[in-house]
Amino acid sequence: MRQGPHIYAIYKYEKNIPEKVVAALYAAGFVSGAISASFAGELADRYGRRLACITYCVTYILTCLTMLTDDLFILFLGRFCGGISTTLLYSVFEAWLITEYNQRGLSRTRLKLGAVFGNMTTISSIVAILSGVVGDILVNTLGGRVWPFMASVACSAIAMWLILGKWKENYGTKQAGPATSSLADVKSGIQMIMGDKRVLSLGLTSTFFEGAMYLFVFFWSAALKSARTKSGSDEELPFGLIFSSFMCAMMGGSAFFSLYTKTHTKETTSIILMLVVLVVSCCLSAAVLVDSEKLLFWVLCMVEASIGAYFPSMSFLKSQVVEDGVRGRVYSLLRLPLNVFVVVAHSLDEEGDGHRNSVFVTCAVLLMLSYFIVKKNFDPKV
């Protein structure tokens, strides 16, 4: 159950938490994400990626349950658990999937890995569309934005039950055995990333793109609310419906990826990645200039469509340049600079449209830089 559109709203408008404290809550999640990124993938490679996926379900359930309270300490604790769960979500699930795909020899069948990633994003978008509508129904029927979080608890519990019953365990090159220094493992992982320009370029691109995406998640509701206020309307925004529209756009982006890159080579996929980075850079710049609520909405939908094409593109490229044995460790470490980036951005958070516009412009510039980084390392003509 997606409760993304309600997180900022429940903090800001239901719990009446000041903007700076809301930013601190978001930042707490990214701090814990940065800390966990230094060891989560290594532990998953060593003790099992299936176990790490189960750990994700547990930490995410705890995160959702903390939304029942107004106690700031517990809310911060929830964001800490949320940071850990996000690191696990974007590293160990993918590591498990790619290793399982390779172990079963599915590359010799008609099921291509790129198609798996495209379908995964499409299905995720469909589920998000439905859950966004259901989330709105829960809010309107039961009278509180906390109910989508409770539905998420149920969904996560079902996911954990399925993982326990259906998944086989797989490991990296270092299964459970004599412990080595965590610092040495981190150093080794960083050396792997720095030693391969393609991995490093994907790491920098994911930092700038996903960093911009997380800041977009933090700011989009405020941006639309500001545009509506300027139009003279004081009606409440339909957050769930807007979020479902975003997911429709995201699904369109993933479908575009699947149709355009039927051969799923590094060359065709890198073209998609460069394109979506460029589009989001332009859209964030446009969002600063647009005052019309409707026009801003469509600009934000274009951002979401680009995100839909970005995730399968990035997943496929990483699957081609990172070895199976260290996949969990490298994927986890690639999230470290991302979390630091977002923490720094949130530490500078201020009230008002001016700050939000500055963030959008900065992200647009960094994304333009990402375009040239990918072009240099993946374009065969360069």
CATH number at 115 reads: 1.20.1250.20
How far is residue 11's CA from residue 23's CA, in Å, rounded to a whole number?
10
Is 189 within 8 Å of 330 (Cβ atoms)? yes
Handedness of CA 171, 172, 175, 176 (dihedral sign): negative
Q: Count CB atoms within 10 A of the CB of residue 16.
A: 8
CA end-to-end distance (rounded Å), the chain: 43
Q: Count CB atoms within 10 A of the CB of residue 111.
A: 12
Residue 105 CA to its chain's centroid (Å)? 29
- pLDDT mean by block of 10 residues, the chain; 382 residues: 65 81 83 85 87 95 92 92 91 89 83 82 82 81 85 94 94 58 65 82 92 86 83 74 84 84 75 93 91 90 94 89 78 84 77 83 94 84 58
Q: Give the per-residue pLDDT at 254.
A: 87
How far is residue 281's CA from residue 276's CA, in Å, rounded to a whole number?
8
Q: Give the per-residue pLDDT at 262.
A: 63
Report if pTM > 0.95: no
Domains in the chain, number:
1
Give the range of the structural domain holding residue 159, as residue numbers without chain letter: 4-171+179-378
How far is residue 77's CA from residue 84's CA, in Å, rounded to a whole number?
11
CA distances from 28 to 5, 7, 266 (A): 19, 14, 36
Is 332 within 8 Å of 37 (Cβ atoms)? yes
Q: Give the per-residue pLDDT at 60.
A: 95
Q: Give the per-residue pLDDT at 227.
A: 82
CA distances from 326 to 33, 86, 329 (A): 19, 19, 5
Is 269 within 8 Å of 114 (Cβ atoms)? yes
326 contact partners, CB below 8 Å, separation of at least 6: 45, 172, 173, 189, 192
Q: Give the per-residue pLDDT at 176.
A: 46
CA distances from 228 to 234, 290, 330 (A): 7, 12, 43
Handedness of CA 134, 241, 63, 302 (dihedral sign): positive
How far is residue 301's CA from residue 243's CA, in Å, rounded to a whole number?
10
Q: Give the per-residue pLDDT at 88.
A: 92
- 120, two tokens: 């995964």
